[in-house]
Structure 1
Amino acid sequence: MIIPFLLITVAFFATAEIDIFPTEAHWLKKPLDVDPNGSPGMMCYADSYNVLGNNWNRTYTTSEPQQIHISLTDDAKYARVQFATLGSVRYSVLQYWPKRNNDHHHLYRDKIIVKGEDWVFTDGGLAQRKLYLHKFKTDALDQATVYAYRVGSATGRNGRPVKWSKIYEFHTAPTTNHFSFLATGDVGTCNAVAVSHLIDLGKSHKYDFVTLAGDQAYNMEDFNGTKGDEYLNFMQDLYAQVPYLGAVGNHEGAYNFTHYKNRFNIVPFAESNFDNSMFYSIKYKSLHLVSFSTEVYFSDNKDEIETAINWLEKDLVEANRNRLERPWIILLTHHPIYCSIISSDCTTKASMIRDGITDSNNRTWGGLEKILLKHRVDIYMSGHVHNYERTYPVANNKRVSTSYHNAPSFFQIVIGNAGQPEGPTAFSKGPFFDWSATRYGSYGFSTFKVSPSALLITHYQALEDGTVGNIVDQFSVTKDLHHYKRDRRNCLV
């Protein structure tokens, strides 16, 4: 379906230099004819992709729930829900119930009410704007069940009235070892070409969660954090019904990533023995999914790299102890370590993350590739580069196989093409490295179907007219379950 375009008159701003929120020096005098709509430091106006009927840029009352999103713990045994308000509330509340056929929401009998954990997040800009955040953890959930829920905020002395959100739904893990999830990366509120399709797929209850390979909003901290508010309200129809399991990117880096750490405080980092949402893992049926921050390589802090690498090693050691139960390991992050565009992102930066940094004794340490090979990670999934690319199984900058059956090394997927202000990144005519299997230089999104012995991965076109186009790439990754009973010394370290 083509989404109707909302005409907004901006002729004056197209030719003039504007001062918006002059308390922030880096927002001064940005000409609208230089940077695309919604770019970092620029306001995001309505376009043909964000007019979705969810009123992402409307005015909210101080106690009204907004920015609702949900995440999971291992195998969806529990869910966490988070929302924001613009002012303080006496308490926050989550109400949820298993959805029954033909039930009306006012007739359900299995209501469960949970009070929230509330805190204040202060943006690091000059205005020191406050946002009031609220999160909840459900009780143990039934498998293969659709739950309906709503969140509310109470401001009165007696806890009434409660200002309720609309009702959303999510579903829990199936009883079998077969499931599907959505995968995307690099999403803004403006030019978000693929988002309407992800929302529609999310409503089907066929996808258990959505991964996002970093970079959201462009940028959350802009305009004292109000741009982050608008983005999460824009994404609410997806994130409130399909649990979020994403990674952090460079565009979340302001004020030591505090917007990401606070706004996505519900991913299972505590269960993963980390102290914030930049690193975590989750066990889900036959999959072990790791969310890792490659931003540590650009922090000029060697201690951060060492902490990250040590955490990853411990996590993957534990994952391999349970490899027969969960044969698949996917590492989700932002920066690629293999990619084919003409950019430092695919040369010096990729090699630094892949091979490590050089210390004062000219020794290289901290690279990811040796760890991926040592622990037999199956897929390295990233964004940052705004296109789609799949590699063959690769190691040490060389293709090691063209087969995805019992592959001798990991392969990589770059999936940074959901749609953001700058648009997609085209590929040159080549030549390309032998490890590059498939390249697509426009908008799209992926789906994964997972079973203990196979992954079916599909990448779809998201066309600029608002429709879903052709399948760009579809392939299967398979393995024999006895594969991990073999001698591990054959790994390509």
Structure 2
Amino acid sequence: MLTLVISLFIFSEILGLPISNDASNAPEQVHLSLTNDPTEMAVTWITQKSLDKASPYIYYGPSSDALNSKVPAEVTKWTDGGSKSTTRFTYRGIIPFLTPGQKYYYSVGSDEGKSEVFFFTQINPNKEIRAAVFGDFSVKNGYSFDPLIEMTKLGELDLVFHIGDISYDLDDKNGDKGDEFMNAIQPIAAYVPYMVVAGNHEQNQDFLHYKNRFTMPQNGVLNDNQFWSVTLGNYHFVGISSEYYAFNMSTEAQLQFNWLYRDLRAPRSGAPGYPALEPLFNTYGVDSVYWAHKHTYERNWPLINGTPILDNQELNHFHNSPTPVYTLTGTAGCHDHTFPNETIAQPFSALRLGNYGFTYLTLHNSTHLSTVFVDALEPSSRLDPFLFTKDLGYKPSGLKI
């Protein structure tokens, strides 16, 4: 099994088949996300006004003209803390009993207004899984939008991981900035699951917009979207929040650590104190860790306590790495930098890049993953080709706790 940890203009629609649309209650910001069940798909959307008497549903089926099944959605009313006290309505529903590899069409809304028809293919864990991984992304300087939308159209993405710092900021201008960004990602997120973790820019109003705009898998501890895990066949994905540490949220940090300890199947009772995440990753076989926040791309050598472990490793191929591969990928398109900064390589850096873009991850099987960096301004240019392999049953010998 491969274990990965993830922590920190309106575009034309791909399909664009309208159904009905009452502008006052029109569904917008439609996006998909995974649940704890690989046979389900969560769908989330927003309206700017409440429904009058109608009930919200997800309508779905095997073709765009045969949306013969429907499931109800739950609505959450929430109010922004800005000067206008803007109220929005978030709808969440889950499509059940899906077949891996099968294509499904869907629309969301009610008798008072429905979205256009979208589609998705339920992820098949027995085949390669391809994902875009990035953080620090906004409409301003959003250079990665075009290649991400194009890759979605071409069927080259199965998943997206957005590692914090979303929109800059979701709550700006009474939440209008968040609406703009969420509508801008719809040509991606309505077709492939868009998984997120919070960054420091989501902290305003106690993460109000982050909690209410997204739907992540339940962790059974805190219902705040901040940490979660998903297993797809031989692949285990974990999303965690570093913001608990950044904002001195010690209770939440400890709860997350205890949960992570259990999630990685620690073989003993009790839990060590936080914040010793690195030895936890090393001990329980995490293969790859992705971060953002810094507006650059950096792939590190295997590390223990900040010290690079170079034995028997090649620049572009790590085999049986003694520790996880740490990759910083915060260059999707930050709002306030002309170009990403901090591109000077350090002793622990296998490679640093200053280009705008994102990591394109391919999970080949339980022992092989590969990545390239997609240059957003020259998408055909794939930089830093990297292969991670391990022997079947290999357990890393990194620092133990």
Under a length normalisation based on structure 1, what TM-score does the superposition of the two structures give?
Answer: 0.72
The within-5 A match list for 1:54-73 is: 61-73=23-35
Which amino acid in the other structure matches residue 57 of structure 2? Answer: V
Can you list the C-alpha shifts for 1:244-264, whole angstroms capped at 9, x where unaligned?
112111111111101101101
Q: 2:216 aligns with which of 267, 281, 285?
A: 267
Q: Distance in 1 between matches of 2:398 and 2:350?
A: 22
Can you list the C-alpha shifts for 1:409-436, whole angstroms capped at 9, x where unaligned?
1121111111121233233555x21x21
Cα offset, 1:469, TM superposition: 4.5
Check 1:183–1:429 CA distance in 2 against 1; reply closer, same or farther (3 A cut).
closer
Can you list the C-alpha shifts for 1:135-168, whole angstroms capped at 9, x where unaligned?
11112101111111111133xxxxxxx4111111
Can you list the C-alpha shifts for 1:80-126, whole angstroms capped at 9, x where unaligned?
10111111113211101123xxxxx33x2x62111210120111223
Q: Distance in 2 between matches of 1:273 and 1:300?
A: 19
The answer on whether the counterparts of 2:125 and 2:233 sit within 8 Å (CA) in structure 1 is no
Q: 1:283 aligns with which of 225, 231, 236?
A: 231
Can you list the C-alpha shifts for 1:177-198, whole angstroms capped at 9, x where unaligned?
4322221211101110011111
Give secondary structure in 2 for the equivalent of 1:481.
coil
Q: Which residue number corresponds to residue 194 of structure 1?
A: 144
Q: Which residue number corresponds to residue 88 of structure 1?
A: 50
The answer on whether the counterparts of 2:221 and 2:255 sit within 8 Å (CA) in structure 1 is no
Q: Which residue number corresponds to residue 213 of structure 1?
A: 163
| Bigger relative contact order (CA 8 A; separation at least 6) | 2
1:296 aligns with 2:244: yes
Figure out how many residues of one structure are paired with residues of the other and give that number: 373
1:468 aligns with 2:379: yes
The answer on whether the counterparts of 1:381 and 1:413 sit within 8 Å (CA) in structure 2 is yes
Q: Distance in 1 between matches of 2:301 and 2:227?
A: 27
Q: Which residue number corresponds to residue 264 of structure 2?
A: 316
Q: Which residue number corresponds to residue 438 of structure 1?
A: 351
The answer on whether the counterparts of 1:388 and 1:415 sit within 8 Å (CA) in structure 2 is yes
Cα offset, 1:273, TM superposition: 4.5
Cα offset, 1:284, TM superposition: 1.4
Q: Distance in 2 between matches of 1:232 and 1:175?
A: 28
Q: Distance in 2 between matches of 1:491 and 1:237?
A: 41
The answer on whether the counterparts of 2:343 and 2:353 sit within 8 Å (CA) in structure 1 is no
Can you list the C-alpha shifts for 1:275-326, whole angstroms capped at 9, x where unaligned?
22011000012211111000011222322221221121111126x89xxxxx
Q: Which residue number corresponds to residue 380 of structure 1?
A: 289
Q: Distance in 1 between matches of 2:38 and 2:254?
A: 31
Q: Distance in 2 between matches of 1:296 and 1:190?
A: 27
Q: Which residue number corresponds to residue 492 of structure 1?
A: 399
The answer on whether the counterparts of 1:177 and 1:286 sit within 8 Å (CA) in structure 2 is no
Q: Distance in 1 between matches of 2:341 and 2:75?
A: 44
Check 1:274–1:316 CA distance in 2 against 1; reply closer, same or farther (3 A cut).
farther
Q: Which residue number corresponds to residue 80 of structure 2?
A: 123
Instruction: Give the share of equivalent positions with the same residue, in percent.
Output: 30
The answer on whether the counterparts of 1:296 and 1:304 sit within 8 Å (CA) in structure 2 is yes
Q: Which residue number corresponds to residue 280 of structure 2?
A: 371
Which amino acid in the other structure matches residue 300 of structure 1? Answer: N
The answer on whether the counterparts of 1:244 and 1:267 sit within 8 Å (CA) in structure 2 is no
Check 1:481–1:74 CA distance in 2 against 1; reply closer, same or farther (3 A cut).
farther
Which segment drifts farther, 399-408 or 86-95? 399-408
Q: Which residue number corresponds to residue 40 of structure 1?
A: none
Q: Distance in 1 between matches of 2:184 and 2:207?
A: 21
Check 1:207–1:285 CA distance in 2 against 1; reply closer, same or farther (3 A cut).
farther
1:52 aligns with 2:52: no
The answer on whether the counterparts of 1:170 and 1:205 sit within 8 Å (CA) in structure 2 is no
Hey, which bits of structure 1, 4+ residues long, moved more than 6 A? none
Q: Which residue number corresponds to residue 392 of structure 2?
A: 481
1:185 aligns with 2:135: yes
1:390 aligns with 2:299: yes
The answer on whether the counterparts of 2:125 and 2:232 sit within 8 Å (CA) in structure 1 is no
RMSD (Å), alpha carbons: 2.3
The answer on whether the counterparts of 2:343 and 2:354 sit within 8 Å (CA) in structure 1 is no
1:112 aligns with 2:112: no
Can you list the C-alpha shifts for 1:231-253, whole angstroms capped at 9, x where unaligned?
10111111111111121111111
Q: 1:231 aligns with which of 168, 181, 195?
A: 181
1:417 aligns with 2:361: no
Which amino acid in the other structure matches residue 492 of structure 1? Answer: L
Query: Could you say which structure has the larger radius of gyration?
Result: 1
Give secondary structure in 2 for the equivalent of 1:190.
coil
Check 1:371–1:239 CA distance in 2 against 1; reply closer, same or farther (3 A cut).
same
The answer on whether the counterparts of 1:74 and 1:284 sit within 8 Å (CA) in structure 2 is no
Tell me, which stretches of 5 or more residues in structure 2 are unaligned?
Answer: 1-8, 14-21
1:164 aligns with 2:114: yes
Cα offset, 1:74, TM superposition: 4.2
Q: Distance in 1 between matches of 2:296 and 2:101?
A: 34
Q: Distance in 2 between matches of 1:174 and 1:168?
A: 19
Which amino acid in the other structure matches residue 68 of structure 1? Answer: V
Tell me, which stretches of 5 or more residues in structure 1 are unaligned?
Answer: 1-49, 55-59, 100-104, 155-161, 322-355, 357-363
Cα offset, 1:206, TM superposition: 3.4
Q: Distance in 2 between matches of 1:142 and 1:491?
A: 38
Give secondary structure in 2 for the equivalent of 1:216.
coil
Q: Distance in 1 between matches of 2:125 and 2:362?
A: 15
The answer on whether the counterparts of 1:71 and 1:243 sit within 8 Å (CA) in structure 2 is yes
Check 1:141–1:429 CA distance in 2 against 1; reply closer, same or farther (3 A cut).
closer
